[in-house]
Amino acid sequence: MPHDHAEHLSPSGHPYRPDDDGPLSYWQVMEIAVRELLVEKGHVTPEEIAAQIEAMDARSPAQGAALVARAWCDPAFRDRLMADASAASREMGFDIGALHLVAVANDAVTHNVVTCTLCSCYPRNLLGLPPDWYKSRAYRSRVVREPRAVLAEFGLDLPPSVRVRVHDSTADMRYVVIPDRPAGTDGMSEEALAALVTRDSMIGTGLPRTPA
Amino acid sequence: MQPDVPSHWHDMGGGPAGSVPRAEHDFALWEKRVDALMVLMSNKGHFTVDGLRRALEEMGETAFETMSYYERWIAAINRNLVAAGAYDTAELAARMEEVARRGATYGDAQSR
């Protein structure tokens, strides 16, 4: 397999990432040229592009965290979320577009984790753009075969009594994990609970924080 | 257990691989623009997310290993836009040549 490319790795073993102010690359030139041609031919406006970037920047794991915290506090909302996560997200005012979103809930004996083995499908309209590792060969290959080993790399050692369920997303159906509410959070406000919900806990590679 | 039909390269589930690289990076402006072009042009009906994936998959495994995520996306978006008739390859080549002469960095070469 041609993926032993150590020459692309930094001394710490991570891939190099070009800085924004590095030498202009062929693909950056293509992006500029494509964008200019589309604008000149009237297919898109610079304002539409700027607004789209702003909309994507505004999407963040905080939206998902608010959804999870609501589900922890409101059993009726949780029922609606589990039945139709797209509708429940819209109910909270999150513009998730045509995305078909499926919520999968952890409990004392079940841990869910999400991947996309074919490409990089991710609930981006709820959580924002996916982290680099979600799109990596290593994660996509291994999480379906040895999820416990992958989760251990993320610092999540699950006891054998917990069943691990791995969900493989598609372009048309994306999953979000609803983590189990941590112990010791009785009486906390929805807002304080949301602050405990991490991005990785909604992908399944982490757990919510515990209250300080 | 071997499947009867070999998987296409992009079907990575279950394959051998090393540890998960945990470094994350903030998206550069040019990467966000690529993402925005994908969303806008597919919403406007010039092509579909399936068209994007088809082009990405046809680019092959070498492209996956040697190009970054949004490098692959702009290449795949370009293929779809040319196929949809949004512009032709001669127009693109001429514009890329002109853009490349504008400066040494993205900041110098970008418009608007």
Stretch 27-46 of chain B: residues touching chain A, C-beta under 8 Å: 27-30, 32-37, 39-41, 44, 46
Q: Name beta bridge partners: A168.
A: A115
d(CA A81, CA B78) in angstroms, rounded, equals 38
Residues of chain A with CATH 3.90.330.10: 60-203
Straight-line distance from the first to the last Cα atom of chain A, in angstroms, rounded to the nearest whole number: 46
pLDDT interval class at A62 (50, 70, 90)? very high
Q: Which residues of A are catalytic?
A: 116, 119-121
Q: Is A21 on the interface with B (CB under 8 A)?
A: yes
Cβ A30–B92 below 8 Å, yes or no? Answer: yes
Span A15-33, pLDDT tens digits:
444 455 678 999 999 999 9
Span A137-186, pLDDT tens digits:
999 999 999 999 999 999 999 999 999 999 999 888 999 999 999 999 99
Q: State the average pLDDT for chain B.
A: 91
Q: How confident is the model at residue B15, as a pLDDT?
A: 84
- Dihedral sign of CA atoms B55, A54, A120, B69 in order: positive
Q: Name beta bridge partners: A167.
A: A114
Q: Is A148 on the interface with B (CB under 8 A)?
A: no
When CB atoms are compared, the residue of A32, A118, A144 closest to B14 is: A144
Q: How confident is the model at residue A12, as a pLDDT?
A: 42
Instruction: Decide: A140 and A116 in contact? Cβ < 8 Å.
Output: yes
Name the residue among A75, A66, A33 with its Cα closest to residue B96: A33
DSSP A6: G
* pLDDT tops 70 at residue A2: no
3-state secondary structure of B101: coil
B11-15, B19-23, B73-77, B100-104, range with the lowest pLDDT: B11-15
pLDDT interval class at A4 (50, 70, 90)? very low
Residue A112: which H helix or E strand, with range?
Answer: strand A110-115
When CB atoms are compared, the residue of A2, A33, A53 closest to B65 is: A2
In the predicted model, what is the mean pLDDT of residues A44-60? 95
- Residue keyed to tokens 């409101």: A74
Q: Phi first, then psi: give them for residue A168, nearest 5 degrees.
A: -100, 110
Distances in whole angstroms, Cα of residue A129 to Cα of each of A56, A160, B74: 8, 32, 16
Q: How confident is the model at residue A11, as a pLDDT?
A: 41
Q: Is A56 on the interface with B (CB under 8 A)?
A: yes
Q: Phi first, then psi: give them for residue B61, nearest 5 degrees.
A: -70, -35
**Token pair recorded at residue A159:** 């006891």
CATH classification (class only), A60-203: alpha beta
Instruction: Decide: A68 and A194 in contact? Cβ < 8 Å.
Output: yes
Q: What ipTM was assigned to the predicted interfaces of this complex?
A: 0.91
Contacts of A49 (CB under 8 A, 6+ apart): A35, B33, B36, B37, B40
In the predicted model, what is the mean pLDDT of residues B22-30? 90
Instruction: Decide: A111 and A162 in contact? Cβ < 8 Å.
Output: yes
Name the residue among A47, A46, A28, A26 with its Cα closest to residue A36: A46
Span A98-133, pLDDT tens digits:
789 999 999 999 999 999 999 899 999 999 999 999
When CB atoms are compared, the residue of A38, A52, A136 closest to B21 is: A136
